[in-house]
Every structure is written in C-alpha cells, then in structure tokens.
Structure 1
C-alpha cells in the first residue's frame, strides 16, 4: 500500500506539469490564431488596395507615352502644316495657333518644338507661349538619338487600319512615323514624342528626307501628377528622384526606355484594413487581456506548486544539453563538428534515393596563415568566429555548416534544384569573405576557395562524396584561389594524370632527359636589332610529345619540383648569356620558387659558377609575388638587385598593379600583358591602358616591354607610343640555341631565313 501511495505521489506532479503548459498553450494558441486571423484580413485588405493603386498609377504613366503620340498625330499628319512650314518667311502666328499653343491648350503639352530637315529648331512654344527656337538647345542632346531614329525610319505606306505597326525601333501608324519615350529631361521626368510632319492626302507632296519634325514634351510632375492624383484618388502623390519615402508610403519606379532609372512616384496608400483595425483593435486587445488574467489566476497555484520540481528538471536538462552540444559541436564557433557533420551528411545522402539533390561544399581559407603569423593566433581565432557568423547568415535552416578544423569548413546544402542554387550560394560566400575582418584592432583580408560535389551524381557514399569535393577544392586552389569549382569526372581523371605527370617529371629531372630551354627574341621598340632573349622551359615527353609549361609547371609548384626546374633554366640561361654577352637573358620565376628558403643565394651562386655577369640576367616576377609578401620579398629582391640582376614585373596590369609596388620594390622593367596587346585596335580601353602603362614606365624611367605582338598594326602603335621592347610571333617563336645562332648570324643563308619567323626589318 505504501508503494502504491508513493507511486501516486510521483505521478501527480508529472501529470500537473504536463497539464499546465498544455492549458496555457491552448489558450495562447486560440488567442494567437484569432489575432493572426485579424491581422491577415487587415494585411490582405491593405495589400489589395495598394496593388490597385500601383496598377492604376503604372498604367497611367505608361499610357501617357502612347497618348502623347496620338495627340501629335492630329496636327502632324495634315496637309496645311506641310504647306505652311515650307513658306518663306515662316508664319509663326499660324503655327503657334494650330500646333504650338493649340497642343498646350488642348492636351496640356508643356513644350512644343518644330525642327527642320537638319534638326534645327524653327519654332518653339513653352507653357503655351512662343519662345525663341534656341530654347530647344537645353534638351537637344538628350533627344539626338531619338531624332535619328525618326529620320532613319522608312516612310510607311498609307494604312487602312489605325493600329500602330513596328518598323525596327520606329513606330508607325497610318502615315505617321514617330518615336516616343519616357526620359529624364533637365532633371525632370518627361514623356517625349518626336513625329514627322507629313501630308494627310496625296494632294500635297513631301520630298523624302525633307520632312519637319514635331517634338512634344509632357513633364510627369506638376500638373500631370495633380491630374493623376485626382483621377485615381491617390493621396499625396509626388515625384522623387531618389525614391525617399516615409515609412507608410509606397512608390512606383519610373524607368526610361533605355533602362536607366528616372525616379519614383511616391504617395501615401489607402489602407482600409488598417482603419478597421484601429476601430476593433482596442476592444479585441482588452478582451484578450481579460482572458489572460483569468487564465493566469487559474493556473497560478499549480505553477507555484511545481516551481521547485521544474527547477530541478531544467537544471538536469541544461546539463544534458550542454554535454550533448560539446560532443557534437566545435568549441570555438559552436558550429557542428566533424562527427555531427558526418551524421547530417549521411542522412542527406540517404534522401537522394527519393530523388532529392544534395551538394557538399568544402571551404578552405586563403591567406589565413598570414593572419596568424602577423597578428597572432588570438586574431586568427577571432577571424574564424566572425567568419562562422557570416556564413551562418547565408544558409537556410535546412542546411548544415560545420567546422572541420583549423580554417576548414564544410556545408551540406539540401533540397537544391540544380547547380544554379549552388552557384548562387558560392557567390554570396565569396562576397562575404572578401569583406575585411576586424580583429584585435586591425583589418584582416582573406579569401576562400570552395570545392563542390553534387549527389547523387558524385555518388551516395559519404567518403566518396567528400573525396570528390576535396578534388574540386584542390582545383579551385590550383586555378587562382578565391573561386569555386564543381566536381566533374574530368577532375578525377586530372588527379590521376597529375600523379603520372609528377612521377614522370621526377624521372626527367633525375635523368636530365626531356626538359629543354627555348628562347624567344625581344627586339628594340625603335626598330633596332634583337636586344634580348626570354628563356622558356619545354618538356619533350617520350610518350606524350611536347608538353607546354602550363601543363606541368603547376604540378611542379605543388610538389616542390619547381626549384629544380628553375635552377635548370637558370643554368641554361647563364650558359646562353656567355655565348651572346651583348644580349640580356630573361628568366621567369615561379612565386613558389621565389619564396623558397635561400632562393637569392642559389641564383647568385649559379651565376657565379657559370661565370655569368648577373647584369645580363633579367629575373621576371609576377604581381602575385608582391601581393603575397610576408616580409621576405623586399629582402630577396634587394639581395638580387645588389648582386646585379635586373628585375622585371611580368603581366603588368592584370592583377593588383600599383605605384606603391613600383616604388617599394624598385623594379627595372614592366611587361605589358599580351591580353592588352591582343586587344589593340579592337577595344578603346586596351589602347588607353597600354598608352598609360608606357607613359608610366617613361615617367618612372623603367623599361617597358610589350608581349604577344603579332600584327603590323600592333607594332606600329607600340612603337609610336614609345614602347622600349617588343616580343611576339611577329618577330619569332621560341627557338632552340641552334636556331638562335642562325638568327643572329649577320649573313644568314636564304634557306635559313625562310626557316625562321623573325621579321627581316628587325635583324
């Protein structure tokens, strides 16, 4: 019996604790549903009224353009104006009474102009009164293209139907030819129509091309707004060029026919639902308060009796929740950790069997190590926390963001429609990460590379999907970082090919067979002979044939083999420099090779071992070397320049070029990227950029070299602009030493000349 009583005592509080929130929830739900129903009805009523006003306003605005041209047609397609306008002198009184002031009085046109065949104003009326024709000058520039369209339109045949017909960009209706648009004139929104003045009958002839043009302007503020407000019963209708509005106002954007924003029509909308709510709201609120008070009194005694027990339950649940959270979440960011991420990914992949698509995004920060090294690990932790917050705001509640460790994050994106959803998310992520991070009083800048695998296309096994996402991430980093790549089967094959290339490249370096150095001549910009050679590495593979640098250099950089390749090219360049001491030899440096420990000392040692004058060797670096400066770049460049090497900045203008770099690092030469040279004569911007780079080099007393010169037109422009050196297929492709020797022979044989691509005028 005691056991039974004891059992009942334990059950009683449990039942009460369940009943208390149930009663309260039921009451609140009922009140909430009632409130929601009222607010929903109010919102629907207000929305319907606002939508009606928006539609009426927009129709009125768009209709004024067609209405303007129809009004013009009354006087523009008429025999009498044609006869009157061809009289000398011009009867301005007749024109004003029948065209100018008449259009203002009858239809409210604000400005009326008549232009002769040369688009010169012969009559002008403003606000219903004639003015000097030169008044047309204040709007002439804005209407030039539209007048050209009207002039260029072919004269239409007479039509039996008054319906307008499209003729290119010209609108025709019967004998009328016009061009009507919404524009912004002298800072005001305006409907403008330009129409040819043509005879209505065949009794009067008009020589094609000699027609006068009637221009009418109706400003859409002022009187037009008052009429529109009265017609549609719109309160406080006004025009705003910026769209500024009070909290309860709405607006209709006004866009010109060219797509530019003219401004906005703003007004205070009619909200019948809100007015009704203002009447019944106080009574409803009072009733709700009374119900809540009664319910509170009813449940108060039960709540007090259960408070102690509830406190114990809350503490226990809090402890359990904390333990659960720590087991599956990252301590620094509170994001899911790898364990929870794996579980969420397994669940998402299981749903792909029902047709759902899932994407896995692997994220890796760029330049995060630089933040840790320069600002300390506390700054790095702050950056990671802020990044987690930014990323979380970009995701849906159904997605999962996890921190896998360090600066590595991963996202599971579920319920996607296709690659468009993935690309939209990646674009938002890249933009969010590019914004500066405020850490410990400093601004830090990092980037992010993203690899994506789409399931079930990439498989439904978690390990396989993540492996493929990692491959895509590897591709994003290899292709410049700060971007995203979606896994394709070709990437998997590329990984295997890269592995084979790495193995065979190691063998080529070990045996010394296959890797060759070719030289492309550089000529003086003033038409003098060859002044230098650029050393370019080639790989003559026994099975794959000739492999270009862009296929194996990235592999060499990622595997650490680039240092050996760079030294091989440097030794060959030093030997070539001894053979032709009157030429300088350019050697390209990889950013990875440049940042290697003891790099400057190795270059100096190779030149010394080969007995080469360093002043004849030119080392080419990219802007990426300067951008990734971690304190060693300036010291390395200084050591090289003190040893006598010349420094050239390659691909100038394509990255983060700035005067600061040129001053800080004291380079000797800048090389204009071939993309700008190739665009000469095709794009005005390229011509301006190339001219600016040459002028900059001349001002700073730097040698300027143009790469990729292929045509006579490019050569002529570059020489006239003062470019110091030219390089490209117009002069020669990359040659081996034997071909270079024949090219430099002062008395080459005829058959030798025909075998080379060098232009004879430059030898």
Structure 2
C-alpha cells in the first residue's frame, strides 16, 4: 500500500513505532498530564469549597455575636430594678456593679458597658469587669452616636437583621432574638481603632409603669471587641484556625485567607483572617510524592509492553485493563454497599444488624466467659432537636459517638441502634465493678457539656446492663433484659444506670397491681396520708413553712414514697384526683398553722387540664385558706413544654395570689428566659448539688452562682436535702434564704407537728403570715 502510493516503505519496526508505540506513549503521557491536572483542579475546588464554608461560618459567628450581645442586654435593660436605679438622681454604683456591669461581663463577656440618661449623659461605666469613670463615654460617643440615635428613633434607617428599631419593621431574614419590648440598634463598629460588636438598647421597666417620653429613656451601651475571646471561640467551636483581625486583606500565598468586616451601612472596619483548612492541597502533595514514581514506572512498563508485545497485545491489554477497572469498580461498590449495610451513616459506628451479628457470634463462641450488653439511651435529646434543630441533633449524636468510643474497652463493640440509642457488647472484663466503672465513665462523658453550633448543650443518659452466662447468652434475651433495665432507669428519673434483676421482669405486673391498689386507696381514703417537712430560715432555728408530701401506707408493701406511685398515677389518669386530695389536706392543715407557708408539689400532667387553675382557686377558697399562704412547686419540665395552657395557668394562679416555686433547679435546662417569662417567686436548689457541698469546691461554686442569680432576679432561694451542719453553715454564708432537710427534721405526720421537730416542743416560728 505504501509502496503503491509512492511513499517509502517503512520497516516493520518503524511502522510499529509510528503507528502503535508513539501514539500509545503519547496517550499515556496525556493521561498522566490530564490526571495530574484533574487532581490539581479537584484539590483547588475542594480547598475553595472549604474556604467558602469557613467564610460562611465566620459570618454566622459574627451574626451570633451581635444577636447574643443584644439578647444579653435585654436581661438587665428591660427590668424594673435596673430602670428604677438609673432613674435616681444618684444611682447606686455598687448596685449597678453587681446587677449590671459584673453580670454582663462575667456571664456574657461584655468588655465595655455604659449607661446614659435620656439626654445622652453617661451615668455609669464598666470596662472588663472594673468600674471606670463614665467620662469614658466621650471616647466612644462619636462612633456610637448613629446607633444611639437609631435606638431613640431620631435617626431613621432600615433595620439590619440583628436589631429592632422603634417604629420600623424587622429586616427580612432577621435573626434577632430579643422580645418585641426591646428596642435596640446593633451593628459592627470601629472603637478606638478596633473592630467591635456594639449594641444600644433602651432601658425600660418590665412592668406596666409609665416610662417617659418615647425615645428619651436611659440607654444601655454594650461593646464586645472582635479581637478578643471571639477569635479563640472561632478556633475552638467552629474550627477556624489562627483567626485574627487584619488591617489589610490576607494573602493566600502566606497561607492565610480573609473576609472583609463591614458594618450594615457598608463601612469597612478591617478584615478577619484565618488559616483555612486545605485538604485538597495536602492530598495533592501526598499523591505527588508517590504518584510521580508510579506514573513514570507505568509509562516505562507501557512502552516495554508496546514494543515487546505489539499492536495485538496492546489491544488485548487495553481490553483487560478496562475489564479490570470494571471489576475494581464493582468490588468498590460491593464493599461500599457492604459497609453501609453494617454501619451507621452519621457516626460510622456499626448499626443494629452488625451489632446483632456480633452478639450472636460472641454468644456462639462462648466457652467459659460471660457476655455483657449495655443499652444507652440519651436523655433530653428531643429537646435539643426541638430547640436547636436537626443539624444540632446530628452533631450531638456524632459527638456522643466519639466520647463513647473513647470509653470502649478492648474487645468490645459500640453500635448505634438508631435515633438516640447506643449499645455496647463486651466479651471481657464483665465483673460488676468493671461494668459499673464503664457505665459511670459513659455517664460522666454524657453529662459534660457538648459544644454544639455555638451553644453548650447538657444532656445525660439512661443505661441498662444485662449479663449472660455461657448457657444463657441468647442475644434476644440479653437485649430484652438490658432494655427492661434501661427503662427502669428512665422510670426512676433518668441519668443513671441499672443492672437487670429478676425483680424487674415482674415490674409490669407489679405496676398493674399497684395501679389497682391505688384506685382502691383513693376511693377508700384510708391508706394515703400527707406528711409535712418543715422549712427553716437561714439560721436553721426557726420554722418558716411546711412542704406537703404524700405517702402511701400500703397494706402489703409497707410505706411507699411518691416516686414509686406518682408516675403510675400520672399514666393511669389518677393524678388529678390524687393532687386535689393532697391540696385539700394541705389547706386543712394550713388553717391550723396560719403563720407558715404551705408548699404543695404539682405534677406536669395536672397542668394539661384546661380548668386546672380555676379548680385550684375554687378548692383553696372552699377550704378557707388565703392563696398567698399556698406555694405551688413546679418542675422545669412544665416550663419547657411552653404550652399555652401551662402559661395561662401559671399566670392565672400567680395573679390570684399563689406563690410559684421552681423545684429541682439546676438539674434541667435552667434558663433566665424561663425565670423572667414565667415570673416564679422562688427557686429550690436540687439536693444533688447540696449533697456535694462541703466535699466538692465546684458544687459550692455552682450553689453560690444559683443563689446570686436568684437574688439578682429578686427571687427567694431554698436549699433542699441539707443533712450536715457544714452544709447548713456554707449555705447560710452563701446567702440562702431557706433550708430544708434531715438536719432539721424529717417529714412529720399532722399529729407530730404540734409536738415539734426532733422532739423539741414549741419550736419558734416566724409571723410572716400572721397579719
């Protein structure tokens, strides 16, 4: 063919080289170059995506700082005592230190707080927790004047997404978390050459008092500099490394990236720079070290094969290569499918199916050793999902998986069974002490706060433990027993662990039997009675009130405490009748002791009834007792429901004169917003904290903080569970108003009250209700 066309005839070697070898080698080089370029482009795309995500995180963090700053101001700016103090001709600076300046600095990290009057004259200032001359306002006034004017309503401009301006609608997509009563201008500003978050809020009373001409109220000015603690928070919470405020944009060649800091009015305040994560670049470097040698070897091998084997073998090699690639891809897909079939996607832990196979295999291979299963169910997980969203819930599940994995003993398996339920299977170290240590370690990790989306979340866990012997290690039976033990923990108040016992298997039957007996006891009114535990003043020498506690003298089971039958009454619909009877008994005894308050516990189920408040008012009125003598104790769970019926009932009862106490304070999601929103009169520190007082420095610090919080909000504080003189002395020194516990007296029957406490007759009582 070549000869006939007039072209010189090529030797077989040259023909092979020209038409086979050269194109093959060129193709190989092109593929290597294309692969290198693809890896480089992909790495850049990944790095750009990471930088964009981190930039979004930075903007979200800055927005959260502005919203948190305004929300923290509302706690003192909209408050009767603070407003009244500022209105005085000479405000008490020490009172403002304790209730405004130190509070905002210590709890919310404010770096500068200034109060100005209606004529923009400074009356108080605190910087970094230390009171300073109000004259410091002159340094920041020019910068903050637009915010002050906007908050007063004298400067009209569109509201940004973080502020609530008088006479203006909220901005679209607003993130402001303050109440409609709070008017504030909040923005990024430059103060003394430093970028800062600033907020100016009107100070008004939270009652219905007249507050003066609109726009001339006192103002609370708060500033938090961005180059302070926020930079550390960005690294610790959001993974933004080496965050810092820059005067000029960062240069990526130096490994830094930045975004401009602008106010809502477009004023450039600087640049926020950080060292972005660059996984793509790291992967590219890793591949470059090994891929170069591999690519060169591949080209050499390909050239050798081309020259030795020829076109036919080359074609076969390509076919074989394609088949091999398809096989590898198929194997990869099968491996991925196998992985997904046995692992939880969110946590990468084994799933329920893998856990079941592991337990079955361990049970089948058992010879002399036992097999243990721990079922772990998270407490308060639903509340996190409801309040912070499902993204926060997913992050919490991932954090829990990491903490539990760190506690897993060697040879054990941790799995996520679904939702907020985890399980551990152990084949070694199954002694009671080792299992207790593992359960306590897991609970300790679950009790520690979880940093989630810029907030600290506190949960707990309920753990059920079951151990099977070599002859009774059936997986279904083990899981059933562990499940029963876990629900036993939940029924007894959660946040703990229990081993399965044979008695638990009878719990359902016993529960039904107790329900029937309780119905009969309520009908007969013979077995139930109310005991009264005295509440003492801070000195521990004077009785100031009683707490009504229902007891059940069961004819077969003996004396039963409320925690054994109140849950049954709630589930069986008997709590309304039981609660009304206890309140009536407490009112009857109150008439004999008009000098004392009478505290009565109220179940959350009772509040669900639409006529609860009216029924309570009617019953107390029929008994001839003044509502102010009755103190209704509620738990935080009632407030967390945030239902309209609960809100309306609490306000109705409080307006009628009843006092409201928040029981077990500190064990749940205690929040200033709940205390301010529901207007309670008293908080009771849970006995779990009091028990540690005198033995744990952290416990007394927590108790002192709760007492200070209560007093700052004009709430009375009661400590329950006081058992030692040392506890009483420490609580008295900390400022606790009332004490209650076995140190003074156990709960007494009605006939024992007249004898006295601890056998001492005529124990003095106060006369606070004598009038």
TM-score (norm 2): 0.48
Larger Rg: 1
* TM-score under structure 1 length normalisation: 0.49
